[in-house]
Amino acid sequence: TKGADVPEEQKAGWTSFIKSLAKMTGDLSSMTAPPFILSPVSLTEFPAYWCEHPQVFAQISEGKNEFERTELVLKWFICTLKGQYTTRNEKMGSEKKPLNPVLGELFYGVWPDVNGRGETRLIVEQVSHHPPITAYYIENKKAGVKLQGHSGQKTAFTGTAINVKQSGHAVLTVTPKNGGPEEKYLITLPKLRIEGIIWGSPYIELTDSNAIQSSTGYTAQIDYKGKGYFTGKPHSYKASISKGSKTQQSYEGQWTGVSYIGGSKGPVFFDAHLPKEEVSVKPIEEQGEWESRRLWDKVAKGIKGGNYDLAGVEKSRIENDQRQRRKDEAAASSNWQHAHFTYVDSDPEYQSLAALLHDKLTPAHEDGYIFKGNI
Ligand code: CLR
């Protein structure tokens, strides 16, 4: 029955939350949701999902030719999906509403060098509050692999599910180990549907398609289907790598499980059961005041400990401080300065790679946040 997974005392709150979804105007951040659905983690932490398999990331530059490297980029992309879209269900029992980052919020992390694969560093900054936009930069210098991107969301309620269109894109830069020229890969982002809202146990299903466009001319397209389409299994995908009009290789399976090269009887392409490595972050006492876990520490403690009054008071304190800062800036006719990224209204890397994407999966221009290089 409806709301079956909602704690008894929060059922009324859940019903009014669902009603409020109908009036939502594309931005879920402003929504007041009942406590059981709140996560103590800020959206600035999410870019870490791109690198929870640091060795798969590092190995991209070891591909022997352009096709092999495109296939390694596709494999790395697929390997991030389980973390990106199912972690909250696994850790907290359902999808949750993350903390809405403040402008200038930072998140720094590292995956240490293991077996000589090189250290991977992560830098995240909240570059916009309205609408919320998160910019990130991930680099493994030794491997010659780096990722720059930004991400935002537009949401719409269908009556039973929330459709989320991701805005933004990422560009992966690879310096091949065999001495070839630097390659760029434009990564567009999939759409998602949040299902299970009515029952009070939200989870994500990916829908439609996204693409990886290489500067070498290779394109990977990934098509997503839920239960019942390709295999009758949830979280399914089919992908293909092509050059020009010629398909070079296809892949299919589950992004949460095993996927295969060619058909479902082909050799294993990727097995999502590979253990992940969570990002390492400095202890809160050593963090700066804009760093996410320190900034939200008291709110997070309130949510985790079931002390929602404390969480609410602390959240209001942070939000009031933000409002005051914006007022002061307006009065001084100054703007908040990004620490690590420079805004461009048309990202040149995006523009040249999107032009190679023949099937109009993405618009010709998009804005971008370019990492300043102060790693
Ligand atoms: C952020 C960018 C990451 C991938 C990702 C995963 C989960 C998404 C999140 C993004 C954006 C915010 C999101 C979340 C799932 C739920 C949450 C859409 C795209 C919304 C704001 C909360 C909805 C509240 C329900 C749980 C009721 O790379």
Nearest to 373 by CA among 74, 178, 137, 134: 137
Nearest to 205 by CA among 242, 158, 148: 158
Q: How far is the CA of 331 from the centre of ligand 1 (A)?
A: 34
Q: Whole-angstrom Cα distance, residue 297 to residue 305?
A: 12
| 49 Cβ closer than 6 Å to some ligand 1 atom | yes
Question: Which of 79, 194, 197, 235 most suits a substitution to test ligand 1, by most atoms within 8 Å of the C-beta?
Answer: 194
| 87 Cβ closer than 6 Å to some ligand 1 atom | no
What Å distances lie between residue 240 and 61, 173, 269, CA to CA? 20, 21, 12
Question: Which of 5, 16, 28 most suits a substitution to test ligand 1, by most atoms within 8 Å of the C-beta?
Answer: 28
Question: Which of 151, 154, 189, 195 most suits a substitution to test ligand 1, by most atoms within 8 Å of the C-beta?
Answer: 151
| 100 Cβ closer than 6 Å to some ligand 1 atom | no
Full pLDDT tens readout for the chain, 375 residues: 788 999 999 999 999 999 998 888 777 777 788 999 999 999 999 999 999 999 999 999 999 999 999 999 999 999 999 999 999 999 999 999 999 999 999 999 999 999 999 999 999 999 999 999 999 999 999 999 999 999 999 999 998 999 999 999 999 999 999 999 999 999 999 999 999 999 999 999 999 999 999 999 999 999 999 887 777 899 999 999 999 889 999 999 999 999 999 988 899 999 999 999 999 999 999 999 999 999 999 999 999 999 999 999 999 999 999 999 999 999 999 999 999 999 999 999 999 999 998 766 678 899 999 999 977
Using the 8-state DSSP alphabet, how is residue 356 labeled? Answer: T
Predicted pLDDT of residue 29? 76
Nearest to 140 by CA among 58, 19, 68, 224: 58
| 366 Cβ closer than 6 Å to some ligand 1 atom | no
CB 84 within 8 A of CB 22: no
| 166 Cβ closer than 6 Å to some ligand 1 atom | yes
ipTM at complex level: 0.98
Q: Whole-angstrom Cα distance, residue 330 to residue 122?
A: 32
| 99 Cβ closer than 6 Å to some ligand 1 atom | no
| 153 Cβ closer than 6 Å to some ligand 1 atom | yes
| 109 Cβ closer than 6 Å to some ligand 1 atom | no
| 314 Cβ closer than 6 Å to some ligand 1 atom | no
Let me know if 364 is exposed, middle or buried by CB neighbors in 10 A (0-12, 13-18, 19+): exposed
